[in-house]
Structure 1
């Protein structure tokens, strides 16, 4: 049900075999009455009584209790709207609370603002049913409220939350979890007699208890389908009593929520020899290949607990689910859930595939080719040329027409046309157009099929399905020698945020394209390799590949690719503080991007201009440039780059006082980050939260951001976080603590030749009272190193390797490398080649060091 529910009416049936769960609920209720509150999750298979337990908790609670069900659809913020509508005294109050929930304060504060107005007492219990059916935005907002201490409602608020057993619950500190399982024979018998309107005959009782196996939901559905005469023994009940209608009544919702590949795999496992007994994984994989069913969903089914793996065998966790997977759905039950798709998640661009050569002319033994094939190939050639150097919307229409004409007689060429059409739509920022192209990619096989289905899942807001398919695409590394397929594998890696793998795959594609003399493909390979290096924070490599790609694109007349390379070079220049370079490359990118409809290149160019403004301290101007890039709509930025630009926008917005917009963007970024399609998102999200937080909470988020950066490999972004952290520490009068992060940031900025960022860091470091060495005072700076650093510097100056220094000082080579980076920054040098001169100038002798 929706809305608030008062205490349950007296005389409700008891909950059998639920003593431990009821005890946990009682403890939550007691803590809530005492003013502590908390969160308790209730999980279980379909039909195990999650809703009944919540209703009991609401009815037994001595204070105000509210029970809110899933809204029935997954429109963004629909769950939060249902919750706030249940709590709010009026519709206008609910609308105001929803705006607050989506804004700077979050859902917890919105709930806290409503509860005191409606609750008769100090203790409030909020019961949320079927969390797995709530929309992603609302789930993320709830998780944030529960994780933020003091923001999960006012003191004395308890949360009782139910979810399907296969749903991955959010990590909430100090939250409890209870699971509802099967009933004992005595409990099932007692429930049966409560459900039946007549006295149950022994034969009917034995039949029902045996077939339902203690499952309360299955037992309830089975009793409901029998007539009083059949229950009393006057008529013979049907055998089996648990048939397809009963199974789908209980498990149909679960199956409908799974992706199509997951449902097919479940049915496949259930049909293999042995039925619901364990089957070998190799047998399942072989059967999946024979049935042309992607096996990627298998990992998700195992992770969700629907299938259990023991060594090399698989079995169903629930025999009823196995039977339901094979049972035909009743005519009134749809085979799958309907409703709007989830919002698309940002992704990396996919490469333009080089068209396959035209098929050879038909032999006399074959049918003559239809006239549509010639027209299709003409459209394909024209569309490919337009994609390289003309308006991409024109290219998209021509390529779709080519795919239609080639579909029957030349399916492989039709698939190429579909992929090229998808690339045109991607360049234009047209997500629906991408889906249209991918939906009809007939003729695709193997890696191409997985790539198309994976991108379709990502665009459709199904991150778990996308992750499995695209991981399979990335795994072709080393097994493919076709540049087009390697480029798609690299793009799949970028979708997953695996920038190192993306760079490796694109580099391999580039090497093969060069070896095979495929000049038309070289600009694309260099374009995507430059983009992968840019995402990884390796700006010098990105610039080198972009410059080479720019030359190849201009040589082969691919103006659109050249525009993208200019945009990459503009972003690199925004890091190195090359103001004229940013202006030149961004201007040249926009000069082509705007008339040709290249929204992706235009967004990158505008982002570069904004980053240059931010690097010069022009935060207000940077925020004004970034606002349209992080919003949707006809004048917004590219759909795959919106979320990537949010951290930069938040930094600029906070610096110029646009806090409400920064908070709203951060919460939307949190929803996207929770999908797990970008490994670099968690540290950047933590940095955004740190910039918006106050007091000790900001320090916590900065430390969390630095910790998470260590797993991502982007040193430049880590340095930006360290700079922001050092500035925060200095502003809060902790200069000695600020020097460490600022020095580490300075090292990275100098290595990246990010002179503007390095200059800002030096200024902050001087403001803390720390010394910043210059070329004239390097010998003095050497004497200011710690004793350990002095020893390492002297040994390195004498020619010792990192391993030799590590052996002598009983340290690890990694520690030595870390110390040397700090030494270089302190001495204002770039490598150990310069160390001997500094040591000699300082008059150092041997291995002596100040102790």
Structure 2
């Protein structure tokens, strides 16, 4: 542990806190070989009295869901039955002990319960090495567990190559493991290679660059060759086409090249064969070695040198960095010889043979290019778009004619896009079009140009590309994707005519699934005035059922799905797809799905899940340069911030969105940003400001005008309008909601329409409130339902029905508290306080008046005399909206809600008990 005093101190403190009953988690991260594993061994050794669970992830198991969890919990699987039934069932399924379906959140809760149960007897230490190779399900589970440990003596220490923010460890404490100082590195070399002379030790330290693994390996190689000869030139490194390996710097390659050259030619060949083979298949390496003259003595020499070791039928390097260093340091000639020998030992039909042939080829070779193209097709069928993209790019390099190069580049562009490599995809597509433009580009890239433009945030340009390419593609599924993406683009810019044109073109095409189009396209319309028969509740249920069985491309944009009331089946469909997208590493589609899921979870009250999805989607979208997707994620985060009362985040998120959406005419994103700003103002009780923002959603010609968002924000607009005396606007929004209910039967719209009618007043206010709360499915939108309870409770309190008011407001408070809707929670709590019995309500603090500004005091004095806002405005020569703003501040500062209370406050007394009741 030379030079690791700071790191070990942090680990010691974690263990010490656990001994005192407080848990914690830490992510150690840094480049391969930097010493993370040594630190994990250290903390493991220091926790002798702990229950210790450890696991080292491996790349071969990284695609097996819960493989890591299986390895980690094997010593304690007997404790699974002690869990609650649901958790035990979920964990058994995750560990392969049953065939039940798994729920990842439930599995995370089960693992947390299991660890906490173990910790009741003694502290628990969980150590996971090589976290970058953990399967996604285990990584997500450990992230859930690690964020919830503080109240239990459980310590989780993870090691990963990447910083936590770019993986599933975001939000956990982390420490970057840095390179060793020269002094510490020298001490390490002296310990590992005590016989090394001073010049050799000095060269080792200089070449390793503070990497402990490199120091270990170079010290071992020092027994085979002197490192003083490492000043020679290096051949340029070539990348191995068939495998992904960690990068190696030139100094490390130079060091390993010397070690390899110290071996006999047969032993050198074996190590290069093992590095070039890449999969650790000892039998393949052995056959290739024997065919090339490497016998058992060569194996003995290679393993004795410490470069490789054999375990059963696997040949392994001590660390992947060693394999890469060997491969890159051996020279191009040796690499080609190794790949040629490996290809000769493999059957013709294997993909490994194709990759070895591709590595040997260094000129145009149409035969190998065709084999690579076939490999790419097989890879795509099994969902491996990364390998497909790499195969197609190499095939293009080996293609004989410009048209073949162009076609393969176009297909490689689409595969690269699916993996999330947007810049690479666009570059490949540009190259394909430059070499041989034509309709084949659209067919082979599956209309990628329009998809890129749409993701970039240029929906109008995207629409024209998509419609053009829709006529060129031959695959029915691709045609459906392009057509529905064109409809999304048209909806984004608020062009119903373009949306109808794309739908008409889809209906004209003879494509599979066309028969299902006449039903679902109704969901793509946001025209409340469409001539349709009224929808009853049973028809609404039918819509949900249809949505569950509809092909995902035919589902409308998420806000439109919310408006139609099919958000639950849409969310279920998206959640079912995401594991599939993760498994196939289709990052572009995953980013879209995450953005959609985040908005649906917002409305459903799953705010933690929504935030997690939006943050992950934003990270993926930003990495791809997909502004449109990124803005959708920011919209969800901004909506959450508005509901939570975080106005700074609201301002930042909406400003970023509007910066691009307004100039580009993306009305949907602009409208979402305006809605978010209006919500924030309304929830902070600035109704005039809120109304000034929200009316833009229905203002003809405004950059934020969008009928879908005007509908979704109708209740907010109506509430703000009522507060400032604009009952005409509130009435207009009520009629729009009622028309939408007649068309769709959506439960949220029915509830919002009843609430809006209640806010407008009249003889049937209470009936309207009760109808809003009793709408079937209303509770599936908890924020809307709780607001209806709050409005009803406020109305009851003003009618002096204190007990009834407390029941409604109490229910709202419970929901606001659970969700974290802080502004609404404060408002509801203030209302609840006003419904309390006389003995529990203290007199307003007269000293609070000193907190009012001069203008607020003048407004308060006139309002206490029961003047209307307009009368006050005339006297003070300000607008009635400004009066409303000042009066709202007065009520908030004094903790009151009505002008009557303001009169008592001014007189220094309380209302009579009878009036309070």
Aligned length: 586
SS at match of 1:127: strand
CA contact (8 A) 1:84 1:97 kept: no
Asked if 1:216 is matched to 2:212, the reply is yes
CA contact (8 A) 1:486 1:508 kept: no
SS at match of 2:127: strand
Out of 457, 463, 474, which is 1:500 matched to?
457
Q: 1:153 to 1:776 in 2, by over 3 A?
A: closer
CA contact (8 A) 2:406 2:435 kept: no
CA offsets per residue over residues 755-787 of structure 1, 9 Å max, x none?
Answer: 575355333443464355648999xxxxxxxxx
SS at match of 1:90: helix
Distance 1:127 1:776 in 2: 59
CA contact (8 A) 2:26 2:158 kept: yes
Distance 1:612 1:743 in 2: 24
SS at match of 2:176: strand
Per-residue deviation at 1:534? 1.9
Question: Partner of 2:448 in structure 1?
Answer: 491
Per-residue deviation at 1:573? 0.8
In the TM superposition, 1:563-582 aligns within 5 A as 570-574=522-526, 578=530, 580=532
Question: Partner of 1:544 in structure 2?
Answer: 497
Distance 2:453 2:465 in 1: 19
Question: Partner of 1:90 in structure 2?
Answer: 79
Question: Partner of 1:716 in structure 2?
Answer: 668
Per-residue deviation at 1:54? 1.5
SS at match of 1:57: helix
CA contact (8 A) 1:42 1:162 kept: yes
Distance 1:116 1:25 in 2: 20
Gap regions ≥5 residues in structure 2: 96-101, 259-320, 344-364, 536-545, 733-876, 883-917
Asked if 1:78 is matched to 2:67, the reply is yes
Question: Partner of 2:159 in structure 1?
Answer: 162
Per-residue deviation at 1:448? 4.7
CA offsets per residue over residues 172-218 of structure 1, 9 Å max, x none?
Answer: 45834232314535x4454345445x866779767866766764323
Per-residue deviation at 1:74? 1.1
Distance 1:199 1:486 in 2: 63
CA offsets per residue over residues 37-89 of structure 1, 9 Å max, x none?
Answer: 65544333333321111211232258735443225421244345545556766
Question: Partner of 2:176 in structure 1?
Answer: 178
CA offsets per residue over residues 554-608 of structure 1, 9 Å max, x none?
Answer: 78x656798899799645414667475999xxxxxxxxxx9xxxx9994343547
Out of 536, 544, 563, which is 1:615 matched to?
563
Question: Partner of 2:696 in structure 1?
Answer: 747
CA contact (8 A) 1:81 1:98 kept: no
Distance 2:533 2:412 in 1: 39
Distance 2:620 2:505 in 1: 37
Q: 1:206 to 1:496 in 2, by over 3 A?
A: same
In the TM superposition, 1:770-789 aligns within 5 A as 770=723, 771-772=725-726, 774=728
Out of 11, 17, 29, which is 2:3 matched to?
17
Distance 2:646 2:432 in 1: 41
Distance 2:73 2:688 in 1: 46
Distance 1:580 1:735 in 2: 39
Gap regions ≥5 residues in structure 1: 1-14, 232-236, 276-317, 337-406, 584-593, 779-847
Q: 1:66 to 1:224 in 2, by over 3 A?
A: same
CA offsets per residue over residues 246-270 of structure 1, 9 Å max, x none?
Answer: x9xxx99x9899748x98x999x99
Distance 1:81 1:682 in 2: 35
Asked if 1:452 is matched to 2:455, the reply is no
Out of 715, 735, 742, which is 1:763 matched to?
715
Higher mean alpha-carbon deviation, 671-680 vs 125-134, is at 671-680
CA contact (8 A) 1:211 1:241 kept: no
In the TM superposition, 1:224-303 aligns within 5 A as 237-239=224-226, 259=244
Q: 1:175 to 1:142 in 2, by over 3 A?
A: same
In the TM superposition, 1:276-675 aligns within 5 A as 325-327=328-330, 448-459=407-418, 462-463=419-420, 466-473=421-428, 482=437, 484=439, 488=445, 491=448, 494=451, 498-501=455-458, 503-504=460-461, 507=464, 528=482, 531-532=485-486, 534-535=488-489, 537-541=491-495, 543-549=496-502, 570-574=522-526, 578=530, 580=532, 602-607=551-556, 614-615=562-563, 618=565, 622-624=567-569, 627-628=572-573, 630-632=575-577, 644=592, 674-675=619-620
CA contact (8 A) 1:63 1:120 kept: no
Out of 26, 38, 42, which is 1:56 matched to?
42
Distance 1:603 1:45 in 2: 40
Per-residue deviation at 1:130? 1.8
CA contact (8 A) 1:37 1:157 kept: yes
Q: 1:458 to 1:480 in 2, by over 3 A?
A: closer
How large is the Cα RMSD of the aligned pairs? 6.7
Distance 1:96 1:83 in 2: 16
SS at match of 1:180: coil
Higher mean alpha-carbon deviation, 702-711 vs 211-220, is at 702-711
Q: 1:579 to 1:728 in 2, by over 3 A?
A: farther
Distance 2:105 2:579 in 1: 28
Q: 1:773 to 1:448 in 2, by over 3 A?
A: farther
Question: Partner of 2:55 in structure 1?
Answer: 68
Distance 1:510 1:115 in 2: 55
CA contact (8 A) 2:618 2:629 kept: yes
Distance 2:592 2:327 in 1: 42
Q: 1:97 to 1:749 in 2, by over 3 A?
A: farther
SS at match of 2:32: coil
Structure 1 or 2: more helix by fraction = 2
Tell me the TM-score normalised to structure 2 length.
Answer: 0.47
Q: 1:683 to 1:489 in 2, by over 3 A?
A: same
CA offsets per residue over residues 732-754 of structure 1, 9 Å max, x none?
Answer: xx572577567645532555876
CA offsets per residue over residues 444-496 of structure 1, 9 Å max, x none?
Answer: 6666544422432455xx43xx2341242476799799464885597256358
CA contact (8 A) 1:727 1:764 kept: yes
Distance 1:106 1:159 in 2: 19
Per-residue deviation at 1:107? 7.3
In the TM superposition, 1:105-120 aligns within 5 A as 105=105, 109-119=109-119
Per-residue deviation at 1:116? 2.4
CA offsets per residue over residues 614-642 of structure 1, 9 Å max, x none?
Answer: 425x46xx524664465359999x99878
Q: 1:575 to 1:666 in 2, by over 3 A?
A: farther
Q: 1:189 to 1:750 in 2, by over 3 A?
A: same
CA offsets per residue over residues 519-572 of structure 1, 9 Å max, x none?
Answer: 999x9999948735724852533x4334445666778x6567988997996454
Distance 1:707 1:561 in 2: 41
SS at match of 1:545: helix
Asked if 1:736 is matched to 2:685, the reply is yes
Q: 1:652 to 1:218 in 2, by over 3 A?
A: closer
Distance 1:30 1:744 in 2: 54
Distance 1:722 1:728 in 2: 10
Distance 1:190 1:418 in 2: 49
Name the larger-Rg structure: 2
CA contact (8 A) 1:37 1:158 kept: yes
Distance 2:143 2:660 in 1: 24
Distance 2:652 2:602 in 1: 19
Distance 1:239 1:544 in 2: 76
SS at match of 1:128: strand
CA contact (8 A) 2:116 2:154 kept: no
